[in-house]
Amino acid sequence: MPRPRTFDEDRAVDAAMKVFWSFGYEGTSTQDLCDATGLGRSSIYNTFTSKRDLFDRALRHYMETRNAAQVALIQRADLPIRERVRQLLWDAVEPAATDPLGCFVVNTLVELAPHEPEIAELLERDHTFRVEALTTAFNAAQTAGEIDAGHDPAGLAEYVFVVLSGLRVSARAGATRAGQETVVRAALRTF
């Protein structure tokens, strides 16, 4: 009879997510995962079957939690569109203290997507979902007169996510808070 699990699988996935987020897939060793999760190698492999399986679960967990929170913010019709976009971008300027710098999705896009079509497709679906949500919000803001009718809502949505990705990459590279704030202010002046 197999022994019952004595750990919280979701907590282990969350801990692994932060390690992969910090060091990437290739830069993360099995020992790093053991240290972060508090699990032994046999527990990791019995539960997740492989480092790659754990990575895939960690990436999906990130998208289900972090990116879902972005979409929830984007869909908050009680806030003006500029405030929603400001908060979206501000998360890169002032991330939670427990979060690694940068973006797990952007890091994975750079590291794995160019040579792993399944990862590229997963990330593209996630990106499309978020851009479509922001496009819808920009359309509604345009209809309400919050932004000029001459703006392209889909183009603005793509622009915001490019700026957000750039802010996260530059944060990881050591950008100053003042520099990041300047970028956010400039982005908000575009619409």
Map out the domains of the chain as residue ranges. Answer: 9-188
Please write the tens of the pLDDT for every residue from 92-143: 999 999 999 999 999 999 999 999 999 999 999 999 999 999 999 999 999 9
Residue 149 has pLDDT above 80, yes or no: yes
Buried b / exposed e over 92-110, threshold 16 CB at 10 Å, is: bbebeeeebbbbbbbbbbe
State the pLDDT at residue 4. 47
State the pLDDT at residue 165. 97
Return the CATH number of 9-188, one of 3.40.50.1000, 1.10.357.10, 3.40.190.10, 3.30.70.270: 1.10.357.10
Q: Exposed/middle/buried for 47, CB within 10 Å: 0-12, 13-18, 19+? A: middle
Please write the tens of the pLDDT for every residue from 6-45: 568 999 999 999 999 999 999 999 999 999 999 999 999 8
What is the average pLDDT score of the chain?
A: 94
Q: What is the mean pLDDT of residues 74-100?
A: 96
Residue 167 has pLDDT above 70, yes or no: yes
Residue 1 has pLDDT above 90, yes or no: no
State the pLDDT at residue 6. 52
Residue 155 has pLDDT above 60, yes or no: yes
Sign for the CA dihedral angle at 14, 20, 21, 23 comes to: positive
Closest C-alpha to 157, from 69, 71, 77, 60: 71
**Other CB atoms within 10 Å distance of the CB of residue 69:** 12
**Other CB atoms within 10 Å distance of the CB of residue 82:** 15
Residue 128 to residues 87, 89, 133, 138, 154, Cα–Cα distance (Å): 20, 18, 9, 15, 11
State the pLDDT at residue 136. 98
Residue type, 113: A
Distance CA 180, CA 52 (A): 34
